[in-house]
Amino acid sequence: ACSAPGGKTLAMLQHQPEAVVTAVDIDTARMARVQENLERGYVFAHLIVGDAGAPEAWWDGEPFDRILADVPCSATGVIRRHPDIKRLRRPEDFPVLVARQAAIVDALWLLLKPGGRMVYATCSILEQENAAQMAAFLQRHADARLLPMPVDWGEPRTVDTRFVGRQVFPEPEGHDGFFYAVLAKT
């Protein structure tokens, strides 16, 4: 979900070419970029232009085994490559983004099969979009549990001593900042 410009969709299909993937994005022009990237990689995904926060308009009713919710965010994790973010983001933008993220992840959760997994991802370094967002999600969904991430990258994030995901901070000559959490549906 929120799949444009398609880099993660392409990577998933190159890693698991037998996977049946549906990519959803709200913007037609951005979805065209997804198509271009998939064609360059010689892979295929079912592309849907639709709002991830309103799946009733596009979802066929078949629950998903896995969902990547790469939600819209402040993009503070890519600020080293896009310094204009400091000027473009206003304080009043953050509550709107956090509410939109919550709406998307809540809507997508309903599309996940019991036993399925959802990855929540942002390119943000802000607590309210990441650890706090996941803590609030867990409060709203009794059928959700966070899975441990046995990796050696990023820093574990906690809220009230409860693990809620991993944060990667930007490095001046390295990678961008990202947050990931893996949720399982019981």
Active site residue 2: no
CA pair distance 107, 113, nearest whole angstrom: 13
Of the residues 123, 146, 181, 183, only one is catalytic, namely 123
Q: 């304080």: which residue's tokens?
A: 91
CB distance 132 to 165 below 8 Å: no
Q: Give the list of residues 6+ apart from residue 147 with CB closer than 8 angstroms, or none.
A: 117, 182, 183, 184
Q: What percent of the residues of the chain are helix, what percent strand, and what percent coil, each to the nearest 5?
A: 35, 25, 40
Neighbouring C-beta atoms of residue 42, cutoff 10 Å: 10
Which secondary-structure segment (H or E) carries 168?
Answer: strand 162-168
Q: Where are the alpha helices (DSSP H) in 50-130?
A: 85-88, 93-109
Residues annotated as catalytic (active site), given as ranges:
123
